[in-house]
Amino acid sequence: MQTRSLGTSGLTVSPLGLGCMGMTWAYGAAPDKAEMVSLLRSAVERGVTFFDTAEVYGPFTNEELLGEAFEPIRDAVVIATKFGFDLKADPAQGPRANSRPENIRAVAEASLKRLRTDRIDLLYQHRVDPEVPIEDVAGAVGELIREGKVKHFGLSEAGAATIRRAHAVQPVTALQSEYSLWQREPEAEILPLLEQLGIGFVPYSPLGRGFLTGAITAETVFDKTDFRARLPRFQQEAMAANQALVDLLARIADPLGATVAQVALAWLLAQRDWIVPIPGTTKLSRLEENLGAIDLVLDAGDLAAIEEAASAVAIVGARYQPAMEAMTGR
């Protein structure tokens, strides 16, 4: 398989990674653990080397899953995990950040045990903590890097000023934020900044949490345990309006012999050669479909048609509920 470098850091990974959150959390009942271990190892067999998890996914169970799956083949994979949420906070009061240096170290030590490894390849701050200066966060991760427990530092959903300040203390290898054909906010300020600083970009939800696969329609009803049921963009009226984008992409995909998902991922890969999307899935068939995007070459005409389709549709609905939305772009 081809490889990509995340900026100028020297961290080289497969062009597509695998987001693992849904294997234990967020999208309804968790799949069978043994099946997910098998899927993770199947991904490695197909050339995927980059896997994304976090302590909050579960909590904890997602990291434990990856630890079990990858312990026998640890050197074949790059594992990214995250700190930054206060897991002791009352959920009823909404999400709270916790990036105090002592918590960063405690989370990293616990993650190492759950992942059954001696190092975390890429450690992200999951969300910016307004109560802790980003310089203190970068310094704490820098200490872990010097100790060999962490290899690279990352940020998630951070704004331009925060990225600059963090990078001045401890070089940032990658930024992970939502980016797709229905979430293009990073294009205005973030992508030029990352290019300037030599930082890689890891788009999460590159398929719009499944919407850009074409498998979700306005008639789709989500289980109450599926967090999309609470998201503004996945309410019936919003999905009905946003279906126009999928319909337009389908018209572009058909002549290419591709699926809508493959076109959406290939479009992302074409934006910069240091972008590495991490679509998630719990199905081998979807994994193989997504990997097909790596070999889908979009020419200038294809990219222009996609741009025209995307600009013709005004996406309806916020990405998150207000409390979570407020934690992005800081």
Q: What is the pLDDT of residue 93?
A: 83
Q: What is the pLDDT of residue 89?
A: 87
- In the chain, domain spans: 4-325
pLDDT band at 274 (very low <50, low <70, confident <90, very high): very high
Residue 3 has pLDDT above 90, yes or no: yes
**Which residues make beta-bridge pairs with 83?**
125
Place of tokens 């995307």: 310
Quick check: 274 and 200 in contact, CB under 8 A? Answer: yes
Q: What is the pLDDT of residue 324?
A: 93
In this predicted model, what pLDDT tens digit does every residue of 218-228 receive, in sequence order? Answer: 999 999 999 99
Q: What is the pLDDT of residue 105?
A: 98
Q: Residue 89 is inside which H or E element, if any?
A: none
- The total of other beta-carbon atoms located within 10 Å of residue 189's CB is 13
In this predicted model, what pLDDT tens digit does every residue of 76-126 receive, in sequence order? Answer: 999 999 999 999 888 878 899 999 999 999 999 999 999 999 999 999 999
For range 1-24, the mean pLDDT: 97
User: Token pair for residue 26?
Assistant: 């967020």
If DSSP codes are grouped into helix, strand and coil, which group holds residue 203?
strand
Residue 184 has pLDDT above 90, yes or no: yes
The residues, ordered by sequence, that sit 6+ positions from 324 with a Cβ below 8 Å of its Cβ are: 94, 95
In this predicted model, what pLDDT tens digit does every residue of 275-288 receive, in sequence order? Answer: 999 999 999 999 99
pTM > 0.95: yes
Return mean pLDDT, the chain: 97
The residue from 57, 124, 179, 204 that is catalytic is: 57
CA distance 60 to 62: 6
In this predicted model, what pLDDT tens digit does every residue of 19-77 receive, in sequence order? Answer: 999 999 999 889 999 999 999 999 999 999 999 999 999 999 999 999 999 999 999 99
Q: What is the pLDDT of residue 1?
A: 85
φ/ψ region of 257 (left if φ > 0, alpha if ψ in -120 to 50, else beta) reads left
Quick check: 203 and 14 in contact, CB under 8 A? Answer: no
CATH topology of domain 4-325: TIM Barrel (3.20.20)
Nearest to residue 298, comparing CAs of 258, 241, 239, 242?
Answer: 258
For range 170-184, the mean pLDDT: 98
pLDDT band at 315 (very low <50, low <70, confident <90, very high): very high
Residue 241 has pLDDT above 90, yes or no: yes
179 is known as an active-site residue: no
